[in-house]
Structure 1
Amino acid sequence: MKRAVTKSTLLWLLVLLIALLIPVVVENKFYMHTLILILFYAAVSGSWNILAGYAGQLSLGHAIFFGLGAYTSTLLFMNGGVSPWIGMCAALALCMLVGACIGYPCFRLKGPFFTLATLAFSEVIRLVASFWKELTNGAVGLNIPFQAGFSNLMFRGKEPYYYIALGVLCLVIAVTYWIDRSKMGAYLIAIRENEEAADALGIPITRYKLYAVLISSGLAGITGVFYAQYILFIEPEAMFNVNFSVQVALISIIGGMGTVAGPVLGAVLMIPLNELLRSAFSGLNGLNFFLYGIVLILVVSFIPNGILPTLRGWLSKKRANRHSQLTQAIPGTQKGGGQVDSAN
């Protein structure tokens, strides 16, 4: 086990080193923008994965926390001159509070009813944000004034945004990695697989579900702060959009729910595909969505467990077959066989 953890850690460090060096090689602004989107969506999807992949609570309302994070930091910055870095802390606290308020009553619902409830909450908050024009400026949205500087989380080039997005993703991965290898992760997986059995074993189900939603919503809020400072414009329809929640969920599902690297793999595969299709078929409205949808249907149909779990299963099966062949090739190791015969 110790050896496996070491290999996993070394692999992550190697990937991190490559990621740190990418901006040195890539100079094209479109490619840099795509890389930033990959890191961003991987981080949001990773936050969703903690609640859905590990705790088994399939939410379609994750845009709530993303949008709240964006609006919290933006309003503090525009109305009070508060640094987005401080606004990020405020967004983290607010999103965790809202996550607990929404999650606790919804945890009484099972299966699709929980999913529908989160969807309903998301739509309600979108409507509130749209009609509360005094605070959010309604559908007109808020243009964030550009004031370049690290304290304002605004930069003239894309490289700083890339490294900040990478830092946010590393935070999400580190938290997920810790959960995956802790008692909390084991409890959440037990709850996901069989809630009644977990309750019979004495696992405090509601408490650990709350832990999951607090962590998940807080991390999603942080990604919202980054996104607002990156695009410098927010409005309710975009920030609380159900389609955003669905896309985040699909990225994690395709990559592999309940795994540390699944959301990252899903984002690496799906975001460039989406951007390339959109640029390639920009003159044909809707065709990029049609092709993107076909790819999603094929992936979900043929590898429903996600790419990463499927690869792991294939590798495990391959190792088992190889071990079986080696066992049969060595005399005396077959089932029912005796000791290895001596050559003399």
Structure 2
Amino acid sequence: MSTETTRSGLTWDRLRIPVVVAVLAALPLLFFDPSYTYISRLFILTLVFATLALALNIVFGHTDQLFLFVGALTGIGAYATALTADALGVSPWVTLLFGATLAGVLGALVCYVAARRRFTVILIAILTLSLQLAIIEIFVGARDITGGSTGFRFSGLGLESVQNALGVHEHMVLYYVVLALLTGVLALYHYIRNSKYGMAFDAIRQDEIAAEAIGVDVVRYKTLAGFVSAFVIGLTGPMYAQLESLVLPGMFEFNVIDVLVLIILIVGGIRTMLGPIVGAAVIIYVNEELQATGQWRTVVFGFLLIVLFLYFRSGIVPYLDDVLNERLGLKARIRSLVAD
């Protein structure tokens, strides 16, 4: 029985990313309608937030460093990419890595200081939330550079040429660009979890002092987790801006991005690969349904976050895994009894 379970587990582990990506790649062919962009926008938004949640999963799920400035990092990636490209007169694709690197350096710096000062998860949350509020104010205050609260239009990824060449809707092209990014992040996350970095991250999360005792460089690994997570978030920023065709501070506020990303991660399942995707699909749909409630949307999500932290911390994917494993185990025991 154990051999069969191990083999099936290894097979699923190898096929998990290709199967999920294949399913996601087929969705536009089934649901996208050129005359109706609302559905296509929701699908792209789901992929964007799934990528952000997966990035947060690396730094928070595996090293217990709670980033509450995901929105600010997303904004840094978007603003730095767009403004630098405009200043240099080049395509934003050229400056895409610059914006992501800038966000990554800030994430690494925060994690380095927090690790050196031995900040708890609560202190890191307070620090990053303060940075979130400060960075948004910078976006608003530096109006000569950023356009202030009204921002500026952004559609500079040059997808129109691809759209015209293929004869498809612009959302179709953007969907596959974001899917390619998500696929890369999934592969990176899979590599991290199954490498020495994943083992070091888990050792730090379980017992930081014990990890240091066995030779794990806690500061180095925490800083690395912060850089990778923030880099991915910064890389996602221009994709989000391309979807909205705008770059303005209100897009990156705490209640617009951070609350959703945190709930997505918890609903889907923290420290899981598929959790951010499942959570994003559920929460983006719920968020759209709550738009009509106005300010009550924030209240509902705040209450939902409290309930999730208290009573439903495992998430949807771990729950389904437990149910599936229980049923497979029951079937295996039945086959064993029948064979006997």
TM over 0.5, yes or no?
yes
TM-score of the aligned structures, taking structure 1 as reference length: 0.85
- Judging changes above 3 Å, is the alpha-carbon distance between structure 1 residues 71 and 153 closer, same or farther for their aligned structure 2 residues? farther
Residue identity in the other structure for 2:189: T
Residue 130 (structure 1) aligned with residue 145 (structure 2): no
Greater alpha carbon shift after TM alignment, 183-192 vs 3-12: 3-12
Aligned partner of 1:119 in structure 2 is 129
2:43 maps to which of 35, 44, 50: 35
Deviation at 1:239, TM superposition (A): 2.2
Residue identity in the other structure for 1:8: D
Deviation at 1:243, TM superposition (A): 4.3
Greater alpha carbon shift after TM alignment, 227-236 vs 67-76: 227-236
Residue identity in the other structure for 2:152: L
CA deviations on 1:142-180 (whole Å, 9 max, x unpaired) are 223x56833889886210111111111111111111111
2:53 and 2:264 in contact (8 A); partners too:
yes
What is the distance in 1 between the residues matched to 2:316 and 2:157?
40
Aligned partner of 1:182 in structure 2 is 195
- Judging changes above 3 Å, is the alpha-carbon distance between structure 1 residues 224 and 290 closer, same or farther for their aligned structure 2 residues? same
What is the distance in 1 between the residues matched to 2:196 and 2:72?
28
- Judging changes above 3 Å, is the alpha-carbon distance between structure 1 residues 285 and 126 closer, same or farther for their aligned structure 2 residues? closer
CA deviations on 1:256-289 (whole Å, 9 max, x unpaired) are 11111111111111112222343xxx3x534555
Aligned partner of 1:200 in structure 2 is 213
Residue 72 (structure 1) aligned with residue 77 (structure 2): no
Residue 261 (structure 1) aligned with residue 271 (structure 2): no
1:57 and 1:114 in contact (8 A); partners too:
yes
1:41 and 1:267 in contact (8 A); partners too:
yes
1:136 and 1:142 in contact (8 A); partners too:
yes
Q: Which runs of 5+ in 1 are unaligned?
A: 332-344
CA deviations on 1:206-264 (whole Å, 9 max, x unpaired) are 11111111110100001001112221211223224354212111111111111111111
Q: Which runs of 5+ in 2 are unaligned?
A: 1-5
Deviation at 1:314, TM superposition (A): 3.4
TM-score of the aligned structures, taking structure 2 as reference length: 0.86
Residue 149 (structure 1) aligned with residue 162 (structure 2): no
Aligned partner of 2:245 in structure 1 is 232
1:36 and 1:165 in contact (8 A); partners too:
yes
What is the distance in 2 between the residues matched to 1:170 and 1:148?
19
The Cα RMSD (Å) is 2.7
1:61 maps to which of 56, 59, 69: 69
Partner SS, residue 272 of structure 2: coil
Aligned partner of 2:3 in structure 1 is none
Aligned partner of 2:109 in structure 1 is 101
Larger radius of gyration: 1
Partner SS, residue 159 of structure 2: coil
Residue identity in the other structure for 2:24: A
Higher helix share: 2
What is the distance in 1 between the residues matched to 2:313 and 2:105?
34
Identity across matched positions, percent: 27
Residue identity in the other structure for 1:140: T
What is the distance in 2 between the residues matched to 1:286 and 1:222?
30
Deviation at 1:61, TM superposition (A): 1.4
Partner SS, residue 56 of structure 2: helix
Deviation at 1:2, TM superposition (A): 6.2
Greater alpha carbon shift after TM alignment, 19-28 vs 233-242: 233-242
